[in-house]
Amino acid sequence: MWPMVIPFALLVYFVYVGIGWNLWVSLGDWKGMEPSYAFSGFGQYAKMFRNDTFWISFKNTLLLFAIIPICAALGLGLAVLMDKGLAGTSVFRNLFLLPFALSYVVTGTIWAWMYEPSNGILNSLFRLAGIDSLASKWTTSQESVMVSIILALVWQFSGYVAVIFLGGIKSVPQNQVNAAKVDGAYTPRIYAKLILPQLKGALTSSVTIIAMFALRSFDFIWQLTGGGPGYASHTLPILMYKETFMKSNFAYGAALGSFMLALVLALILPITYRGKVRR
């Protein structure tokens, strides 16, 4: 019995007790290094919804969801190409998976170097090719910073999604594919009518993982832009970090954390539930 009780107790303490404690702090007035647990109602939440920076961060967090359809489309295309058994498929599979295997801090640093306006590799290549008009300020411009982040994240996740889809394609029984070929179905029709409908589980897993990252994105964006310029690339995790650990607004930071938890439950649970129902 004890082997079951101990892990359950640890789960309850480190997850659910932590969530409860965070919620209680968000209903208080703790500001500064001296803890305060006095109940003060929903003032921190009212302050949060009146804060323009919160709405900028909320909008940017939702913008990151743009990587989901892009990664899904690219990942599916790459998976189909690898499924065709082209030469070097195993090598390309490892190369596609490599970006996801790297630390987000590492990839954030790499892309910060690439996006550097003066000597970054992207602008240098554009100038070398004689198309200076494509050179951009990338992460130093409020107009282009979120697009730059999304491009980098597509690079990070597309290969991972491709590997998930490839696993789903390989799980389709070969006798079904052979039967379709005997019936005269062409390859595009086999993928469209037979294989793709059986990839719902792979799609659900991919969407859930990417959506979870979008909702808790911190280290990658912090390393790449620091939330700047200004508040242009602030997301909810970055705002929570700044308010909690840089300004010592612990109650306000806890309110932001509770809001993010509610957002996760509202967006992720329906995705996973629909995926299970479809199976």
pLDDT in tens, 146-192: 999 999 999 989 888 988 998 888 888 888 888 887 777 777 788 88
Residues 6 or more apart whose CB falls under 8 angstroms from that of 53 comprise: 231, 234, 239
Higher-confidence residue of 226 and 180: namely 226
Contact 178, 145 (CB under 8 A): no
Find the DSSP H helices in the chain.
2-11, 18-26, 43-50, 52-63, 67-83, 89-101, 104-115, 121-128, 145-170, 174-182, 187-190, 200-215, 219-224, 236-241, 250-278
pTM for this predicted structure: 0.87
Percent of the chain with pLDDT over 70: 95
- Each residue's pLDDT tens digit, 103-130: 888 899 999 999 998 888 888 888 888 8
Domains of the chain are 54-278 (1.10.3720.10)
250 CB burial (10 A radius; 0-12, 13-18, 19+): buried
Angstrom CA distances, 50 to 44, 73, 129, stand at 10, 38, 48
- d(CA 240, CA 204) in angstroms, rounded, equals 28
Say which residue the tokens 């919804």 belong to: 49
